[in-house]
Amino acid sequence: MLFSYHPHLGAIGVTVTPEEHAGSLVLVFDDAGDELPDEGCLVRALAAVADDEPLPKLAAMLPARPFRWAQWLSGIGPPLADGGRHMLPAQTTAERLVQWLAKL
């Protein structure tokens, strides 16, 4: 598992190798990592390009995926619908990752 920061989106990407393990990781957090993790990420992407340029594509991160849990683990989001930060503790996220890794 490799974590990477993608400044054009302001998001953490996660690459899982071998690729066949990526599917089981999706089930751990019920998060496919196939869309921008939050509106703030979209706003940062919009701010990073000129008016006549296209938005950075999520494919630019591939094979990394911007899982929501990776953003929580790093402390950068995504925020809750009520405007608060997500309260999933990093320790709980890390424990779930360790359990997943132990099953491989």
DSSP assignment letter at 86 = P
Q: Where are the domains of the chain?
A: 2-103
The model scores a pTM over 0.85: no
DSSP letter assigned to residue 15: E
pLDDT value, residue 81:
54
Say how far apart CA 57 and CA 59 lie, in whole Å.
Answer: 5
* CA 28/CA 49 separation, integer angstroms: 34
Place of tokens 């993608």: 6
Note down pLDDT in tens along the chain; length 104 residues: 899 988 777 788 999 888 888 788 888 777 888 877 777 777 777 777 777 776 666 666 778 888 888 887 887 765 555 555 555 556 677 788 888 888 88
